[in-house]
Each structure stands twice: as structure tokens, then as C-alpha cells.
Amino acid sequence: MTTASQTEFDVEAVRRDFPILSQRLQHDRPLVYLDTAATSQKPRVVIDKMVECFEHYNSNVHRGIHQLGDRMTTELEAAREKVQRFIGAPEVDEIVFTSGTTMSLNMVAHGWARKFLKPGDEVLVNAMEHHANLVPWQLAVKATGATLKFIPLTADGRLDLTNIDALITTKTKLLAVTAMSNVLGTINPIDELAQRVHAVGGLICVDGAQSVPHDITNVKTSGIDFLAFSGHKLYGPTGIGVLYARKSLLEAMDPFLAGGHMIREVFEQTSTWADPPAKFEAGTCAFVEAVALGTAIDYVQSLGLKAISDYEHQLSAYAHRRLAEVSGLRVLGPGLEHKGAIASFVVDGVHPHDLSDLLDREGVAIRAGHHCTMPLHDLLEVTSTARASFAFYNTTGEVDALIDALQGARKVFRLR
């Protein structure tokens, strides 16, 4: 496993840790994977860890009184501790394993919002949110009689905090916000927002799907009440995610799913719940995937999140400079000082789906569509966008391949 120094990031050495990146596609094209915001590729150590679990000690957790079950349970709980340290959570019992960011946010919407919101209360969101951090709150306010309010966006796609004191009031019970937009790359001021909403007695729920894999997250110092993120964007497996919540909140929340493991006692007419996190982990969790998520965290930490962040920022800056060379191409979102390593763009005269298809023929994988942010695209007055998203395993050479493919696509469409 590669270890990157703090002064020099050896991207070629890192790339050798990811088996998929060395493959050739149709017409002998090298894979240029620029879709990490949708899902990340997996290092060999994560793949090997999953194989190890299945081959040597696969067994259901928290149940079997035998060697395999004991080993698997030990590995699972060790992974929970890794997550705790990774995000700076005060207690390990504040880490709930879920199926992903969407499940985590729905847990808060169902277990907390539907229980505690009432008519007159307000939930504050904004138009850049992924549907997973918008639709659950729409359903929650509809069920409780609360109101959904929106923080406006600036012209360059940042939160407009000009009149924030009029938006965050004593009626604000929850502020739901992404730490980093999956379309614009906008990095939001989580610490400041947490302070403001706490000052009026409200809570903050952070969608960390895009931010947690790319920069340091500390829920304690940032004052985050709820944090959701996914393993598959953190170079780990699919089907595993995390909900962090302060222990007092988990204790007060209702369980989202009911069944085995989450109970303390079951009677004919009623049941009592286990303590968190078991209270929110009904049934058989994705235990192999959770263990492999712990391995992914080990891998990321071996490289250093600061080194990752610095390298990705440099790569993103290079990509934005090169994209500016493409005639008729417009990158959406704020300047580099306010965004992560994502570039969503439109090209005059070319639909993003057609553009993505043409790039794919050159081995360049980008995303095209509304990226589960329809309100944002309505605000931008576009139906869809093309998105290139970068990770620490991408190179400037791959950015050049993207630009060459874009220039080639313009020729296909005979654009001047």
C-alpha cells in the first residue's frame, strides 16, 4: 500500500493501488475515470479485505457464539472505532452503520424530524442540495405541519448569507446542508452555519457524501449534530454508509427500521429498544462492507487527508485552466477558492448526454444529467450538465485527455 509524503504526492504510485485504473477499454483506449463524485474506485487493499472476510471468517455479527462470529464482530466494531476517529466523534456509540447517505438522512427525517417537528417550526435548506437532502425534509414537514424554507444562492452558486439572521430564527429547528455540492463543488461554511443555528436552539444536519472523502472532517470542532456519508464515495464498498449523531439525539430519536438486533425486549403487544447504535441497526447489517470501509479509511489516512486535499486542489485548478480553453464551454459554480475538485459545465450546442457519449468513445468517463439536483438545474436554467469530478488518483495527463476529447466532440458537432 502506497504512503504519500506530506511534501510530494506520488500519484503514479497511488494509481498502482487501484487495479481498475490500468485497464484498457474498447479500441484500446485507456480508462480516464472522472466520475468519482458518483462513486470512487477501490484500492487493492479494500478488495482484498472483502475477499479475506468471505474466505476466512464470514459469519453474522453480534449473534454467533463461535470463533467465526467472534472474529467478524470484532472486525466490525473495530471498523466503527475507525469511523469514530476519522470524523472526530466523541463516542463510538454515536456511529451508526447504514446503507449509505440516503438512508442516513432518512433516519434523521423519520426518527428525529417526524417526532419533534410541529406546526410553526421551520426546516432550512437550499437549492444546491442533492435530492437525498431535500425530499426527506419535504416529506417530514408535510407530515408534521412544519415549513420548508430556502437559503438563496448567489449568482456564482454559493449560499447567500446576506440576510441569514432573518432566515435562521427561533423557528428554525433544523438546518440541512451539504458540506460540498455534488454539482457546483461549492464548499459551504459548516462551522459558521452550525454556530448560527445553535444560537437559536436549532440543529444542523450535514450531507458529507462529497466532503468527507476529500478533506478533514471533525464533527466535534465543527459543531455538527448529524452527519451522513457513504462508503462507496470514500474508496470503500457500496451498500455501507454512516450516520453520526450526538448520543443524546440518538437516544431521543425513534428507530427507523424494526426487527432483530435493535430490540431490548419484545412482548406480544410492545417492545423496548436497544441502546444506540444497535437501536438503528435492525437486521443483518452489511458487515463485510463495514469492515472494508474501515480498511478504506486506513488507506486514505495512510496518504493523509491534507495531502489528498492539496493535490486535488492543484489538479482541479489545472483542469479549470484547461477547460477555459474550450470554446463555448461554461463551467458552473464559484471560484476555486470556494469549491472542491468538481467541474460541472455546459457546452453551447451540445446536449450533455451526447457529450458524455462521445467522450466515452475516447475512454473518458464523465457524468451527464441533473445529478439528483433538479431545483438547482431549474435555478441555473439548464436541463442537465456535464460533470467531471476528480480524485487523488487522477492526473494532469487525464485532464489533457478530457480536453482533447472535448475538442474532438466540438468538431463532430461542427462547432466554431
The Cα–Cα gap between 32 and 21 comes to 8
What would the DSSP string read from start to end of 174-191?
EEEEESB-TTT-BBP-HH
Cell numbers at 159, concatenated: 449560499
In which order are the strands placed within the sheet that holds 95-98?
95-98, 241-245, 226-230, 203-207, 172-178, 122-126, 147-151
Give, rounded to a whole angstrom, the gap between the first and last alpha carbons of the chain: 47
The Cα–Cα gap between 104 and 121 comes to 22
CA distances from 197 to 84, 174, 223 (A): 24, 8, 10
User: Residues 6 or more apart from 148 whose CB is under 8 A from it?
Assistant: 122, 123, 125, 137, 138, 141
CA torsion angle for 156, 158, 163, 164 (degrees, to 10)?
A: 180
| Best CA proximity match to 89, nearest among 2, 237, 217, 194 | 217
CB 52 within 8 A of CB 75: no
Kindly give the pairing relationship between strand 147-151 and strand 172-178: unpaired
| Phi, psi values for residue 3, rounded to 5° | -120, 120
List residues with catalytic annotation: 372
The Cα–Cα gap between 118 and 127 comes to 23
The Cα–Cα gap between 83 and 294 comes to 7
Residue type, 241: G
Q: What is the DSSP letter of 378?
A: H
